[in-house]
Amino acid sequence: MLVYFVRKRRDVPFDWIFLMFGAFIIACGTTHVMDVWTLWYPTYWLSGFIKAITAFISVYTALELVSLIPKALTIPSPAQLEEANYQLAKEIAERKRAEEVLIENEQRWQLALRGNNDGIWDWNVKTNEVFFSARWKEMLGYQDYEISNYLDEKITRVHPDDLELMTKAVQDHFAKITPFYTNEYRVLCKDSSYKWILDRGQALWDDDGNVVRMVGSHTDITERKQAEEDLSNLLNHLESIVEQRTVELTKINASLQAEITERQRIEEALRESEQRFRAAFHQAAVGIAHVAIDGRWLLVNQRLCDIVGYTPQELQLGSFQDITYPDDLEAALQYIKQILAGDIQTFSLEKRYIRKDNSLVWVNVTVSLLRETSGVPKYFISVVEDISERQAALQERQKSQEQLQASLREKEVLLKEIYHRVKNNLQVISSLLSLQSEYIKDKSDMEIFQQSQQRIASMALIHEKMYQSPDLARINFSEYVQDLVASLRTSYEVNASAITLKLNIDEHILLGLDTAIPCGLIIHELVSNSLKYAFPVGREGEISIEITEIVAGQILLSVSDNGIGLPSNFNFIETASLGWQLVDALASQLAGDIKINSNNGVEFQIRFPT
């Protein structure tokens, strides 16, 4: 710099002294470097040689200054120094203003990302470096540190079947065939599953028409921790620069150059932050707005205008209160009071907006408050999502459910009426058989009539249980068997002290009509046979009925007694008895198989599916 100064200011006298100062500065710097060097490499002879050169230059310069000091005092440097200090102060003030604007824009960017649920990416096309937001990574199941900022991190996760379409969409946008980049494809997540992503972006071209950058979103925006960390590092770096500048005020030329470079870097960062914010703001799939503390619209994006049907200019002439449905306004204002008081940081509310055509639109509004560094509220950031289709579907679903419930109630009444009438008709038939039996004199014929009457009564009992059942489709078979056994005990005038009826039935077994009727008739036949034939007059005994669910969907029915047992020549298949034939036919109807054990009485086991 001193050589440059001497070459440019040839009118300055004793310019050679500046060259001596330059040589002295270089020698001093080299001496310090050698001091550090000798910590690892003990080349003390070289260090001593450089120090000797430094001492020679220093002594020679000092001797020459004796004759030059009177002349140097005549140089008008104070005014120049004062002007330089003034320019430096101006530069510092401009830098602080730029810092404040940068902080505000970064806060605006962070709040917009936090309010929106999209992931953001920023691709430097020249270096193939890509900025991925934390939300972008979170959507794929990754922590922020698990994905680096390179394009391969994105491309290698795209499904092979979708990669060609994605590449073509990007190329079409780069060629300006499409105004925006939009594509849907699948992305591999950390858990090896694929997730569909709606990818949108906007490219930036330089003056030569080459793409230099592309910014886009992935459906959600959240807080950008990495961006905050970068901002914090930037602020710390700026503070260190300010301290360094304070110490180096005497080195005006070097300080000014550093300040100019730093200001350019801040301006570039500010431009990038502003571009990133605007791209996210205007391309968001949801409505985004800046709202004044009193409710006036300050800034709105196109999506919000599409939702409510107003232009940005029309919205900015009013407030959000003007388009909020009156019944929903009070709840929104209460949330506003809480967020202004600092009780909450953000809130979400489903409410209705009045569109320009006076129709209503359901929206989900998420609101955050941006404050000054002093804590004074500045404005709200609102994210508005159109949920009209969801609300309409919910209302349609409620309407369908109400219609379905009404239809079920009608069918329930009809089904109860059917069960009731069938039960009554069976009882009428039973009564007719009872009346007809009064004219029958033959004992065997009378017994047949009575058995038929009992069978009809057992079926009528099932319909009565169906009528009383809560779901009208199945009955609690344990309750039915208890009532059936009680009826048989009465019909056959069983002495309870002589013959014991033991029941062991799972309480949770529920059977439908098609299963309950044949199963009930089988129990009726087997218990009736035991009551009639197993115990001769005067003999005591026990009849046992067990019904259990042995495996899921399989029922085991067991009817046994400890009576005299079956005859030795008894053949269940070839018997001519109507009762045994009926049991066999009913077991086949149940798709069950019969097993007979005649040791110590007789036991019938029937296994059938529910």
| pLDDT, tens digit, 9 for 90 and up, residues 54-65 | 777 777 776 766
Q: Rounded mean pLDDT of 492-497?
A: 74
Instruction: Output 167 or 426, whichever has higher pLDDT.
Output: 167
The answer, yes or no, to whether residue 442 has pLDDT greater than 90, is no
- pLDDT for 455 equals 64
The per-residue pLDDT of the chain, averaged, comes to 77
- Which residue's structure tokens are 């003056």? 207
Examine residue 275 and state whether it is found in any structural domain, yes or no. no
Domain that holds residue 70: 2-75
* Statement to judge: residues 214 and 178 lie in one domain: yes
Residue 367 lies in a domain: yes
Please tell me which residue, 292 or 389, carries the higher pLDDT value: 292
Sorted by sequence, the CB contacts under 8 Å of residue 119 that are 6+ apart come out as 132, 133, 135, 136, 137, 138, 139, 217, 218, 219, 220, 221, 222
Q: Does any domain span residue 109?
A: no
Nearest to 14 by CA among 75, 105, 56, 81: 75
298 pLDDT higher than 80: yes
pLDDT at 252: 60
Share of the chain above pLDDT 70, in %: 66
Whether residues 483 and 575 share a domain: the answer is yes
**The domain boundary residue, chosen from 446, 472, 498:** 472
CATH code of 161's domain: 3.30.450.20
Distance CA 35, CA 48 (A): 10
Mean pLDDT, residues 485-505 taken together:
82
Q: Are strands 541-551 and 499-505 parallel, antiparallel or unpaired?
A: parallel
Give a yes or no: residue 256 inside a domain.
no
224: confidence class by pLDDT, cuts 50, 70, 90? very low
In a domain, 104, yes or no: no
- Please tell me whether residues 587 and 484 are part of one structural domain: yes
Domain annotation covers residue 237: no
Q: What pLDDT, on a 0 to 100 scale, did the predictor assign at position 275?
A: 59
Say whether both 461 and 486 belong to one domain.
no
Q: Are 464 and 508 in a shared domain?
A: no
Quote the pLDDT of residue 89: 75
Give the mean pLDDT of 141-158. 88
Same domain, residue pair 372 and 405: no
Among residues 386, 411, 426, the one where a domain terminates is 386
Q: Which residue has the higher pLDDT, 209 or 574?
A: 209
- Threshold 0.85, pTM exceeds: no
Q: Which CATH number do you get for residue 610?
A: 3.30.565.10
pLDDT of residue 430: 53
Higher-confidence residue: 66 or 199?
A: 199
The answer, yes or no, to whether residue 582 has pLDDT greater than 50, is yes
Report residue 473 as tokens: 């489709």
Please tell me the predicted confidence (pLDDT) of residue 295: 93
**Cα Rg for the chain, rounded, in angstroms?**
48
Q: Does the pLDDT value for residue 425 go beyond 60? A: no
Q: Is residue 110 part of a domain?
A: no
What's at 558, amino acid-wise? S
Residue 76: band (very low, low, confident or very high) from pLDDT cuts 50, 70, 90: low
pLDDT of residue 338: 94
Measured distance CA(126)–CA(110) in Å, rounded: 26
Q: Are residues 511 and 597 in the same domain?
A: yes
Q: Are residues 396 and 368 in the same domain?
A: no
Confidence of residue 15 (pLDDT cuts 50, 70, 90): low
Q: pLDDT for 585-604, tens place per residue?
A: 888 988 998 898 888 889 99
Q: Is the pLDDT of residue 524 over 70?
A: yes
Considering the domain architecture, whether residues 52 and 156 belong to the same structural domain is answered as: no
**Does 321 fall in a domain?**
yes
**How many domains are there within the chain?**
5
* Alpha helix (H) residue ranges in 41-76: 44-72
Look at residue 248 in the predicted model and tell me its pLDDT: 63
In Å, the largest CA–CA distance within the chain is 163
Mark whether 498 and 595 lie in a shared domain.
Answer: yes
Cβ partners under 8 Å of residue 101, min gap 6 = 270
pLDDT at 291 over 90: yes
Res. 334: pLDDT tops 90? yes
Among 386, 420, 451, give the residue marking a domain's end. 386
Kindly list the distances between the CA atom of residue 427 and the CA atoms of 474, 484, 520, in Å, as whole numbers in the listed order. Answer: 21, 15, 16
pLDDT of residue 12: 58
- Position 294 scores a pLDDT of 93
Confidence at 424, pLDDT banded by 50, 70, 90: very low
Higher per-residue confidence, 41 vs 541 = 541
How confident is the model at residue 26, as a pLDDT? 75
Q: Domain check: are 402 and 375 in the same one? A: no
What SS3 state is found at 405? helix
Domain identity same for 375 and 425: no
User: What are the two backbone dihedrals, phi and then psi, of residue 26, each rounded to the nearest 5 degrees?
Assistant: -65, -45
* Confidence band for 380, pLDDT divided at 50, 70 and 90: very high
User: Rounded to an integer, what distance in angstroms lies between the CA atom of residue 147 and that of residue 161?
Assistant: 23
